[in-house]
Amino acid sequence: MSKDTPRNTLRPAKLDARYSEETIPSPQTEDPAYRLAFQDLDFLLREDLRPVRLQLELLKPELLLSEAGIASTFVFYGSARIPSPEAAPALVAAARTPAARAVAERLAAKAWLYEEARRLAFLASCTPCRADGARDMVVCSGGGPSIMEAANRGAHEAGAPSIGLNVVLPHEQKPNDYVTPHLSVRFHYFAIRKMHFLMRAKAVAVFPGGFGTLDELFELLTLIQTQKMSPVPVVLMGRDYWRRIVNFEALAEEGVISPGDLDLFQTFDTAEDAWAHVCTALGGASSA
């Protein structure tokens, strides 16, 4: 076959999609049955089409990240509620009851972790590109506020692209302003989103968070523990928080995990210490 032979001789779907908008009105052409399948939202959203939607949601981000030259990522998990240092005073001031004020003060006391996430993302984003232009250790967050914003912000300040994997929620959560626009992806299925967090992950940083963060952390540790995923450096940021929230040592003492499973992660308080650990674990030199 000649190298000049077209790869596909069929008319592009884009062209037929445009032609479909020029149909002559009639009872037949105005009926939903006449719509092209890939333009028919009622059809695509049928319960029977769930397997197709799962496949599309897996495929679209994969193509976007591949075309952007993303070779590996540094994933950041963490709360959507911890304020930045500049926003912390307003959060406390807005509390209207003693109980609400106590919660606001505890969140504000964690504002330093926003800065550590920002700094750690900056350090990771200084990783040089490969010879072919592909990027390693690209910061990847959930795309929302708080710790996620801090991660994307650190990458932005390093002049590097970063990924935001947002998810549709009852109360819309818009992507934070620091996510690279063409790497801002929205998901319907939490399960597919979690797959994309880890498919390219070379390291993972887990900051204080609630149900979502804990879910992501324990799924990550389970995947590594069961050898469904290659081991990656996992750093838990904020030693005091993790000591209070999860008694990992008790799990080992009770025999429900092995003592060696405690080595699947390390805890740190500073971005520099966490980054040094990641670099050592990966056998590379720090870009700090």
- β-partners of residue 135 are 70
User: Does 241 fall in a domain?
Assistant: yes
**Residue 33 burial by Cβ neighbours in a 10 Å radius (0-12, 13-18, 19+):** exposed
In this structure, of 36-50, 114-128, 153-167, 248-262, the range with the lowest mean pLDDT score is: 36-50
- Whole-angstrom distance, CA of residue 278 vs CA of residue 198: 16
pLDDT of residue 120: 98
Question: Does 91 reside within a domain?
Answer: no
- As a whole number of angstroms, the distance between CA 215 and CA 237 comes to 16
pLDDT 10s digits, 59-109? 999 999 999 999 999 999 999 999 999 999 999 999 999 999 999 999 999
Residue 31 lies in a domain: no
d(CA 13, CA 18): 9
Over the chain, what is the mean pLDDT?
Answer: 94
Is residue 111 one of the residues assigned to a domain? no
Q: Which domain holds residue 239?
A: 55-83+117-282
Tell whether 188 is covered by a domain: yes
Q: What is the CATH number of the domain that holds 264?
A: 3.40.50.450
Lookup: tokens for 245? 């929230």
How many residues does the structure list for the chain? 288
With a cut of 50, say whether residue 51 has pLDDT above it.
yes
The pLDDT of residue 286 is: 44
Range of weakest confidence among 36-40, 156-160, 191-195: 36-40
- Other Cβ atoms within 10 Å of 278 Cβ, number: 26
Residue 209 belongs to a domain: yes
- Least confident range of 4-8, 124-128, 150-154: 4-8
Residue 106 lies in a domain: no
CA–CA–CA angle 271, 197, 182 (5° rounding): 95
Classify residue 274: in a domain, yes or no.
yes
- 8 or 52, which is more confident: 52
Q: Is pLDDT above 80 for 1?
A: no
* Type of residue at 19: Y
The tally of domains found in the chain comes to 1
